Structure 1
Amino acid sequence: MQALKIQNVEKSFGAIKVLKGINIEIEPGQFLILVGPSGCGKSTLLNMIAGLETVSKGDIVIGDRTVTHLDPKDRDIAMVFQSYALYPNMTVSQNISFGLDIAKMPKPEQKVVVDRVAKMLQIEPLLNRKPKALSGGQRQRVAMGRALARDPSIYLFDEPLSNLDAKLRVEMRSEIKELHQREKTTIVYVTHDQIEAMTLADVIAVMKDGEVQQFGTPQEIYDNPENQFIAGFMGSPSMNFVPCELSKSDDGYELLMESAGKVTRLLVNQDIPGLAQYVGRSVVLGVRPEQITQVSEDKPDSMVMPCAVEIVEPTGPDTMVTIRLNGVKTVCRVHPTAICSPGEPMFLQFDVTKAVFFDPETELRIR
């Protein structure tokens, strides 16, 4: 049985169709993330799962029940909002137990649940405070606690960390991950932050313009993007896109690559049948920063070429180096001990065994 099944779901506001035939299925205990840029329809889809928006077409099934036209209170879901949505006149304890009170759970049982959730989220000392006396991170924990107290079929998170500062966002992300691993809860989580998507999800639905562009595990989507949008959206720093002329060689295919006035032929040591029709034409090479590094003997299959360094950005564990390939700024990830200075040439090693190629017109992956 699927924990959640979304079947051919569409949503229209008047003549404007904002969701166009969404199909997603997840198993019990899976962590699904809906990710995409602002306006792609991810929050609208979450609100439809919650029952806060009506479905124009299609069905939503939670467990073994079709909930498409049920009220939110009848769907057995709990939602954590971006704005926390806490009751300001209630204490933390009262906020957490609010749903239990509505369900007429006896007070002694409510206290057991509140104490369990407070211990889980490490907010036991805060139970008698009101929201105005809490920090942003503490408020978010209380909002999560209110949802966890319900023990529903599915938890829905609507960009819960977007109001937090960078350091706290990382800490809360780890806590949500740990919570999911411990409780084995089913979660649908909306974010525009692809790092949140990569670190938290079991499966990701990448959305754009009201459609699911790709559905799969984080690693599948990172390594095998279906199109140029997905390749550029998932990953930080994002994938580099370099237009190249493709030619035939004795060993397969070659790419003409120019940097600092010098042209190098890079061998494509992959078996990609679809490249045959692009010989003599332009393709877009998709290569991630970690595939362009300082020269190392550990990668005998890699190609080496001289490049002119434009920008050097130390990050601690790595140094990000910006070069220009075929006129396009390209980010490379090198070891912090690699010697490089802006304006000077540097030999860099290209690992094209995992590089991907796109049609320059359709932006679809060439396979």
Structure 2
Amino acid sequence: MKIIVVHPAHMDYRQDLFESLNKKYDTIFIFTKQGRGQEGVKEEQASIPPEWESKVLKSNFLIGRKDIGMYLRLSKELLFGNYDLILTSTSWYICWIAVKLRRKKFVFMTEFWRWQDTSFTRKVLNKFTRLIAKNSDSIFAMGTNAYRSYIELGVKEEKVFMHPQCAIDYSELPMFNLRVKYKLEDKKIILFLGRIVKIKGLDYLIKSFSRLEQDEKNIFLIIAGDGPDRIKYEQIAKELDVKNILFTGRVSKKEISSYYNACDIFVLPSIFYKQSYEPWGLVINEAMAFSRPVIATNAVGASGDMIENNYNGYIIKEKDTDELYKSIKMILSSDKNMKLMGERSRKIFEKKNNYNSFSETLSLSIEYAIK
């Protein structure tokens, strides 16, 4: 059986999953954004293994931020290519139409779970996505939020296969002593790591931290990463007179283990903004691999699978600075409990961040589709 996998770009956290597909099926990988980051932020993508049959379809024919040339190339590949099944996590409108015209099989690989009609265009696209979901041969839902979302849309439960997203365990990689580098040996470090864009909700984290700084004298906030909104958030910190804060700029894959290892608490304060949110948030998995307590909002998909309130961290309401402040303060109040929460994070990570069962569940969704 010939499978086409349509995916934005090859990342290290997809290596094991895609390798298992390549071994089990006659597979061709089509990448639509290889070499191009999200929201204008450079991302460290993985090299496509040379032994894979693959194509990169991105082009320089852009209208606004839309790669029209890529859409044309993708349409040609799907309308005239040789395959039996399409597995896609992107450009699903084009993929589904091609499948219907060619009378092939369609597996929807998705982490998305919130459908807000924020404009007329978005309303039409959301209706189209609902139609696609109901008429897919199977759905591979990456996370409980995604699973529930498609069941609520009316998709038959028997054709929705769920597994939490999996991330790379960076805890065994070489590290440098970040606390020594920045002279933070005696500080409790709160860490954010990711793209600095609006949906990350960093203004709420900075405001919460400005209150914490009045109560706790030995705390420090590290905002690791880069993005178009960095200057804005630096200005917010300055206006609030936040003293114990560091904006590091871009952090490479080789360095992130040192940041996770140095922190005491990891926070992902993402928000709902128009139709945007955090479908998963792999940094939650990554921080948990280092035995760290984690705090995330209800706008983060990973929170529904990876965080248990008052067990290994907290799930808080998005944009709620008071709840974020109290959650961080609660964890900081006891070193013993903070350590215990971190140990529980690692246990949850080991149980749920399992690439073998991740791959097996995806295979089950494919087998169901072709049955």
Report TM bin, short chain: under 0.3
TM-score, normalisation: structure 2: 0.22
Larger Rg: 1
Structure number with the higher strand fraction is: 1
